[in-house]
Copies of this chain bind each other. A is one copy, B any other.
Amino acid sequence: MGGILVDRFGKPVAFREGVAAARKVAISSVASQDGKGISLALLGTVADQLQLLASLGYSLQLVLAGDKASCDKASHAILNLLKLKEPVVELPVEHTAEEGALALGAARGFGAQLLVVLGANRGVELEQGRIARVYQPPAAGSAAAAAALPPLVAAAWAAASTSGGVPVLLAGLAEPDVLLRVAAGQDVGTLFDPAAAEAAGGAKAVAAASSARDLAVRARAASRKLQALSSEERSAALLRVADGLLAAQDDILKANAQDVAEATGRISESLLQRLVLKPAKIAQLAEGIRAIAAQEEPLGRMLRKVEVAEGLILDKITAPIGVLLVIFEARPDALPQIASLAIRSGNGLLLKGGKEAAHSNAALHRVIVEALGSDLGPDLISLVTSREEIEGLLALDDVVDLVIPRGSNALVSHIKRNTRIPVLGHADGICHVYVDAAAELPTALRILLDAKTDYPAACNAVEKVLVHKDWVEKGGLQTIREALQKAGVTVHAGDSVKPMLADLPSAPSPRHEYSALAVTIEVVDSMEAAIDHIHKYGSAHTDCIVTTDGERAEAFLRGVDSACVFHNASTRFADGFRFGLGAEVGISTSRIHARGPVGVEGLLTTKWVLRGDGHVVAKDAGVTYKHKPLPAAVAEAEAAGGRGRRHGGGPRCVVM
């Protein structure tokens, strides 16, 4: 359930015991957007939640507001389809505060332990869009008390405060899983309850709110300011980040030493390796950021230019996506790299790092905020350090445009399964090399050994070798197996080769990513069988054919539906740097937005700009359409994206 605010181990972010204990609940005001009666489509957005709660034993009362006809229609639908045990109360009133008072009366008559009022607002709004957790009545004699309260707020407070009153919860109809979150006692909406108000005490507790949401909203505003800067100004900010990293080196290393000391013995040796920062690494980081600053301007690139009609010119240009959420584990050096890519491409950023690197991340983040200056710094790039954990962030699908996970397969899978925000990344890298009947064996061996041993844990390392059956009699199967074993690779037998190579250990499953010096070997009857096998058990990441038969190679490249398809080349080439994309954002196995190794273009969207001179459509009689393509800079720009740079090896499945 995407919207439930629990941390990664299921711990709720906050718990409202009293609310969670209520089993007899009235729910009011499923009103339509235009305030006129009930829309069945809108009702549908909470109907599944009502049905689940009802099936879980809740007594529910639904108080509908709207005109008689739509109430009748809706209550018929609800009674018959949801099989609610309690009748639906109809309130044929207009869309006013009166509605609130009537709903309260109905709830009291029902004996509800809680009344949930769903509306357009997410609750009682405080400054900067924050929602009060618990409503606090203004102090007597204060200016706020003198001002008239919104009628619904006044009614809710009165209902909750009178003897035998019903606690009221105001929440947003459009919030994901709103009723389920209420039932689970989570922080959603504003609670009107004198006891809770007293317990919450001072203004501070009241104002506590979904801070990550605020951060995202502010990041978007800051990203709009950033876009208004010139390319040179954005480059200059990046150079300040690079200088700042070097200047703050001592602070950063000190913070990092603290992280390392705390983590030693608590995390694996390989994770610990990734956690450590050294002066050389910081210098390398600064150099990388200077390279990003020197890159071609990614924003405003002309992708298409069309003369729509005489004097009416349409451009399609690149623009930033908006607000990115990057969730990363261990490696603190990822932070300045990701931040620099965001600055270059005009995006706002929420960063959520692993706890093991908390001090290092804070020190690095400070450098970036200072380099950006007081106007942009505090808002554009935020390090989420609040109690809100990953699940809470993943629920921000209305204010975050893209999630980029950087970490283990388990983290990426978890994120993909638990958010409605698009995810740029890949969970699995189950890459295949198919050795065709027409392969040259030395070529096949060279490619196989490189694809497995160059960096066995990489996502683009081969996990499965498919050998054409002709090689069984010709001895090639044995040769391949022995060459791999000689190179230290544990060769596992897939079902098809178990009878031939009985001494090999069995593969754990037909779909298995070793991420280690191990592969599964299988025999296939034909290239078509290899393609079917890849579609059935692969992860559509990178798959390769080794053959001298050009026609068969083309059929394989056309037929295999993966992000990267190779002929006679190691799967290890599937990498942003090796592809010449410059800075790598990650490798995506998604079929939407960006696929395969992704460069900065993965952080961009497009925008249509139309310039006219008073042009009108007038039923398409107002203009004579030409739709004449004009020369755009796109060809060179797109092709020149290939301008890459040499780089060393290493684990780079995700952000540079």
Contact = CB atoms under 8 A, between A and B. Distances in A.
A628 interface: yes
Q: Which of A1, A11, A609 gathers most chain B CB within 10 Å?
A: A1
Contact of A615 (B39, B568, B645): B568
Given A52-B180, A321-B592, A634-B638, A569 B610 contact: yes
A607 B594 CA distance: 10
Nearest to A572: B617
A557 interface: yes
A566 B617 CA distance: 13
A629 interface: yes
Contacts of A11: 81-82
Nearest to A225: B559
Given A558-B227, A609-B565, A454 B580 contact: no
A443 B625 contact: no
A180 B640 CA distance: 51
B627 A2 contact: no
A297 interface: no
Among A228, A617, A641, chain B packs the most CB atoms within 10 A around the CB of A617
A617 B628 CA distance: 45
A160 to B, nearest CB: 22
> Chain copies in the assembly?
2
Contacts of A413: 41, 174
A454 B617 contact: yes
Given A6-B48, A572-B616, 20 more contacts: A10-B43, A10-B48, A10-B81, A41-B413, A42-B414, A120-B509, A450-B616, A565-B610, A568-B615, A569-B610, A569-B612, A570-B615, A573-B617, A578-B620, A595-B605, A595-B606, A620-B649, A630-B639, A634-B634, A634-B639
Contacts of A176: 417
A645 B558 CA distance: 32
B580 A306 contact: yes
Contacts of A451: 616
Interface in A434-452: 440, 442-443, 446-447, 449-451
Interface string A1-41: 11110111111100000001001000000000111000111
23 contacts: A1-B177, A6-B48, A6-B51, A8-B41, A9-B81, A10-B77, A41-B410, A41-B413, A42-B410, A56-B56, A304-B642, A322-B561, A422-B422, A450-B622, A451-B616, A565-B610, A567-B610, A567-B612, A569-B615, A617-B649, A620-B649, A625-B646, A632-B635
A613 interface: yes
Contacts of A580: 306, 308, 314, 625, 627
Contacts of A593: 422, 592-593
Interface string A182-225: 01110000000000000000000000000000000000010010
Contact of A592 (B43, B422, B595, B632): B422
B573 A308 contact: yes
A1 B52 contact: yes
A607 B592 contact: no
Interface in A302-327: 303-306, 308, 312, 314, 319, 321-322
Contacts of A628: 642
B564 A610 contact: yes
Given A45-B418, A228-B558, A568-B615, A638 B303 contact: yes
A596 interface: yes
A80 to B, nearest CB: 8
A34 B1 contact: no
Interface string A614-656: 1111111010010111111011101111111111110000000
Contact of A82 (B10, B42, B649): B10
A567 B622 CA distance: 17
A152 interface: no
A177 to B, nearest CB: 5
A517 interface: no
Contact of A648 (B42, B227, B620, B631): B620
Interface in A64-113: 77-78, 81-82
A141 interface: no
A27 B88 CA distance: 36
A40 B12 CA distance: 16
A20 B55 contact: yes
B39 A559 contact: no
A653 to B, nearest CB: 14
A545 to B, nearest CB: 10
A417 B614 contact: no
Nearest to A411: B41
A334 interface: no
A254 interface: no
Interface in A141-180: 174, 176-177, 180
Contact of A629 (B49, B450, B642): B642
Contacts of A535: 221, 224
Nearest to A514: B34
A422 B423 CA distance: 10
A579 interface: yes
A147 B561 CA distance: 36
B44 A308 contact: no
A643 B629 contact: yes
A616 B578 CA distance: 11
Contact of A9 (B10, B12, B40): B40
A488 to B, nearest CB: 16
A620 B647 contact: yes
A191 B210 CA distance: 41
B639 A305 contact: yes
A524 interface: no
Nearest to A323: B591
Contacts of A567: 609-612
A123 to B, nearest CB: 17
A634 B557 CA distance: 20
A619 B649 contact: yes
Closest CB pairs A-B (n = 3): A10-B47, A635-B635, A569-B612
Given A308-B579, A608-B565, A44 B617 contact: no
